[in-house]
Amino acid sequence: MMANRIPIREGVFMESPDGGTLLANKCKSCGQIFFPKAVLCLSCFNEDMEELKLSRMGKLYSYTIGYMPSMHFEPPYAIGYVDMPEGVKIFAQLKMTTDKPFKIGMDMEVVIEKLWQEDDSEIIGYKFKPV
């Protein structure tokens, strides 16, 4: 039987054949961008927001490797912030590679994949991996 795939949050990412994109929103009045989407502009309180597809690549702002379990992840796992060209900092799991150790400023690309298992459902979300 196919496992249920449940997104970690609605409307936060879009899957496509080339990988996937994160979905932010932007205030039509002052231009402030929010990820995850904000219900109304948190800067000017305007309620007229438009969806914005974020770039697929950003730069690693900072990271750490966890050696004790977090809520859903067994160690070792990497987490960090990625600076997106749109001016938002995104917190996410980072995919560890053997040949590309993390370095502040390195290029990172978004991937959409399973985050963790919950009973017979897969919780799907976003991670970043070194380019």
Partner 1 sequence: MREVAVIGVGQSTFGKFPQRSAVELGREAVIAALKDAGVKPKDIQVAYTSRLYDIGTMAQSILKEVGIACIEMINVENACAGGATAFRGVWKDIATGLYDIGIAIGVESMTTSPIARKLIPPAKDDLEGQLGLTMPGIFAILARRQMEQYGATVEDFAMISVKNHHHGCLNPFAQYRKEFTVEEILNSRMICDPITLLQCCPNTDGAAVAILCSSKIARKYTSKPIKVIGSALLSGDYRYHQEDITISPLGSKTAKMAYEMAGVGPEDIDLVELHDAFANEEMLRYEELGLCKPGEGVRLVRDRSTWVGGKIPVNPSGGLLALGHPLSASGVRNIAEIVWHLRGQAGERQTPNAKVGLAHMLGGAVAGLEAGACGIHILAR
Which chain residues interact with partner 1 by CB under 8 A? 8-9, 32, 34, 36, 42, 61-73, 77, 79-81, 88-89, 91-93, 104, 115, 125
Q: How far is the CB of 90 from partner 1 (least distance, A)?
A: 10
Nearer to partner 1, 58 or 63 (CB): 63
Pick 50 or 67: Cβ nearer partner 1: 67
Whole-number minimum distance, CB 62 to partner 1, in Å? 5
What is the nearest approach in angstroms of partner 1 to the Cβ of residue 1?
Answer: 25
Query: Which CB sits closer to partner 1, 17 or 101?
Result: 101
Q: Which is nearer to partner 1, 73 or 130 (CB)?
A: 73
Phi, psi angle pair for 6, to nearest 5° = -120, 125
Residues β-bridged to residue 119: none
Q: How many angstroms separate the CA atoms of 12 and 6, rounded?
A: 12
- Of 87, 91, 89, the closest CA to residue 33 belongs to 87
Report the sign of the C-alpha dihedral through residues 98, 99, 103, 107, in that order.
Answer: negative
Length of the chain: 131
